[in-house]
Structures are given as C-alpha cells and as structure tokens.
Amino acid sequence: MTTAELDLAVEQARARYARRRPRTAALHEQALDVMPGGNTRTVLYHPPFPLRVTRAWDAMLVDADGHEYVDLLGEYSAGLYGHSNPVVLDAMAAAMREGISRGAHTQHEVLLARCVCERFGLERVRFTNSGTEANLMALGAARAATGRQKVLVFSGGYHGGVLSFAHGPSPVNAPYDVLVADYNDVEGATRLLRQHADDVACVLVEPMLGSAGCIPSEPGFLAALRDVTRETGALLVLDEVMTSRTGPGGMQQLLGIEPDLTTLGKYIGGGASFGAFGGRASVMDLFDPARPGALPHAGTFNNNVVSMAAGLAGLTRVYTPDVAREHTARGDALRQRLATVLQDAGASLQVTGVGSMMAFHATTDAVRRPEDAASADPRLLELLFLDLLEQGFYIAPRGYLALSLALDDAQLDSFVEAVGVAVS
C-alpha cells in the first residue's frame, strides 16, 4: 500500500469501528468530563475511542454495544486463568468470608510465600501491590545492599509505570541514576558495566522485553550479564513480572540463570492486584523488622487476603508445573502457525515471543531490539487490530497477545484463520 492508501484504510477502519459502537462512544464522552482523555490506564487507549467491556467470562468479552470477542490479550498477561476460573473465584470468596481487611498477618501470605519461593527458587520473598512496586523495592534493596546508586537498564525495557525506558527514560520515571544500554548487545552492556564498576548497584533486565514487543533475550546475553555483575559486585535483578508464566519456574529456569533478585507480578495474584520481589536471603533479610536498622517496606494491601488466597489456589491447583509446560508449548505452537500464515500471505508482518506471550511487528526484518521495529509503520498494526475486532478477536492495539488457559483449540484455530483473512 502507498502512504495515501494506508491513511485511507485506517480512516475507514476507524469510521467502521465508531459507527458500530454508539454506546461505547457515548461512554467515552462521559469519561472525558472527569478523566484526562477519558482514560486512567494509558495502554488501554486507542483512537477513535477505546473499547469498553461490560462483561467477561472464560475467554470471552462483551462490549458496551453487545459485540462479543474471543480474548487473546489476557489482561496483558495478568489474566492467565481467564475471567471466571471457578477454583480462583472460590478461593477469593472463601478468603473474603473470613474478613477482608484485617490489618494483621494471616496464614494466606505464609502459604503463598512458601509456594512462590519453591516455584521460582527464591530464599526469601516479600509481597507488594504491583509489579511496579516490586521493581521499585528491588532497586531499593540493591542500592542498600551494595552502597551504590546507579542502575543499568535497557532501551525498550518496561518495569512499571515509573520505570519505563521505551524511548529513553520517561519524564514521569522515579529519579534513579540510570545507565541505558542496548538490549541483546553483550559487548556494549558489559563495557558499560565495567566502566562504572564502582557505581552500579544492579542490572535490571527482562528475560524477554515484554512491552517493547516480546523480544526474547539471545543466547548468552543474560549469562554474560550474570558473569559481569558477579565480577563487579553489582546485583542481577531479573524482572519476571511477565515472563514468570513461561514454564514452571519462569524464564530464568529455562535459561539456567540464577539472579540475585527476581521481581514478579501479573497473573500470580489470580487476577487481583499483586507483586513480589525476592531472592538471596542476605539481601532480603535487610527488610527483617526484628533487625536493628532494618529497611522499611510499607503497603496497606501487601498481604491482602484476596490476592494471597487467589495466588495460592492458582499456582497450586490451576497453573501447576505440568500445566505451565503444556501452556508454554501451546503458545510456541500458535506462534509458529501464525508465522506460517504471515509468510504464506507475503504480509509485511512477523510475530515474536516465547511461550504464551507474543507480538506482531510490522516488518519482515529481524527484530532483536526495539529499534529494529521502530521504523515499521504502526498503521499496519492498527489495521490488524481493528480488522480482528470486527472478526470477533481482541488483541492489544500494538499487536501484543497473551494466551489464557480458558482459550480452547477451536478458538485458537479460528484466530489463526482470522489473521489469515486480515492479511490477505
């Protein structure tokens, strides 16, 4: 397509979307009166106005105008269990019947903590309300443990609303002293680490760049970071907020990497607010309140019973290690099927990812870093998103999807066919 043809196609797709959703449009107008842009979560916005869901069950959604969709987005990886898993819902309800806000320790946090430590190879863990908080606390722990201040991060990395490096540090980021390296650039990252060996407290890195487009780390990249952090005395912090669903013990287990600290979040709360950071006891015990001069860690809802109970039920009764292996393999298989469809159609698109998380990119060139996809035309992804909506499938406007356990084989087969129709 020419630029003019693409502009016209996007304009027509947006008009079709708006025409079929008058109630959604009216709700957006109401929202504009009380929220900037009618929005309180930036990633959910898309023009001409965002989708508004009124009901969700299993892997299905209904919008305000009554249109049904198969949900391939999976709440940006937090909705692993689907929208109505009975095991998780029953655990939540049972915990709430005991009393919701107790202002005290409960048995639920102990049971979940033991489960998380065993599952992800942590010696100690502490809970937070989100992955953002988990990463903030991990950085605080690393700086306190090392007595250093700098943090090495990677271009395209996303570690929460105040730790975003999509196009360099965000203006709303927490004011950390950061060094930004290129993802999958072993030589550049290790050189930067050695140059600042006396100042870097930790390296914060995702085993797969999630928000930047499901770009996996290449063989040897994380291992090199592990070696140089040990050499320089910096801590290696793996952000597995998204990737912990990949296999039984997250991507660190698959890749054989032992970080000093791991951050977690998303699906582990069973659909409720959740985050966690943990790892080496020598670092985590700095938070032991029985010790003189212990580091503080507040949070009214850190151990809220809904997240604790749902998290335990999900990890032990729903997403068992065997299920985690099967779901990861299922995602890998779907990604290969989509790649074949795109290739057969000669589409200017590709799909990257690991396991049950993946993303479309509007380029056929190799995508090793966020910069590799930056020159691609975003209008192609918008057209794919809007076309799939009209066929009854919901993915992220940026082309991201995360499979839930609630999806059945027939729905995935239909999705592959819908992608084929969209790119034909």
- Any idea which architecture 86-318 has in CATH? 3-Layer(aba) Sandwich (3.40)
Question: 281 by DSSP, 3-state: which?
Answer: helix
pLDDT given at position 168: 83
pLDDT per position as a tens digit, 297-332: 999 999 999 999 999 999 999 999 999 999 999 999
Among 58, 63, 239, 260, the active-site one is: 239
DSSP state of 205: E
Cα(128)–Cα(118) distance, rounded to whole angstroms? 18
- Helix (H/G/I), strand (E/B), else coil: 303: coil
Can you tell me the distance from the alpha carbon of 251 to that of 197, in angstroms, rounded to the nearest whole number?
A: 27
Active site residue 150: no
Place of tokens 């020159």: 375
Do the beta carbons of residue 185 and residue 230 sit within 8 Å? Answer: no
Quote the pLDDT of residue 349.
96
Catalytic choice (17, 76, 81, 158): 158
Q: 120: which residues sit within 8 A by CB, 6+ positions away? A: 240, 244, 249, 250, 252, 253, 262, 264, 278
> Annotated catalytic, 332?
no
Task: Give this prediction's pTM.
Answer: 0.97
> Which of the four pLDDT bands, split at 50, 70 and 90, describes residue 376?
confident
N-term to C-term CA, the chain: 13
DSSP string, 23-40: HHHHHHHHHHTTSGGG-S
pLDDT at 31 over 80: yes
pLDDT band for position 1 (cuts 50, 70, 90)? confident
Quickly state the pLDDT bin for 335 (edges 50, 70, 90). very high
Taking all residues of the chain, what is their mean pLDDT, rounded to a whole number?
97
Range(s) within the chain of domains with CATH label 3.90.1150.10: 3-72+322-423
CATH superfamily, domain 3-72+322-423, is Aspartate Aminotransferase, domain 1 (3.90.1150.10)
The mean pLDDT value for 141-158 works out to 98
Mean pLDDT of 136-159: 98
Nearest to 246 by CA among 230, 231, 264: 264
> Virtual CA dihedral for 7, 9, 10, 14, nearest 10 degrees?
140
Whether 381 and 369 have beta carbons less than 8 Å apart is answered as no
Q: And the tokens for 39?
A: 């929005």
What are 7's strand-pairing partners? none
Integer angstrom CA distances of residue 130 from 265, 299, 320: 6, 11, 22
Provide the CA 378 distance to its chain's centre, in angstroms.
21
What are the pLDDT digits (tens) for 212-268?
A: 999 999 999 999 999 999 999 999 999 999 999 999 999 999 999 999 999 999 999
- Quote the distance between the C-alpha of residue 150 and its chain's center: 25
Residue 227's CB is within 10 A of a number of other CB atoms, namely 13
Stretch(es) of the chain classified as CATH 3.40.640.10: 86-318
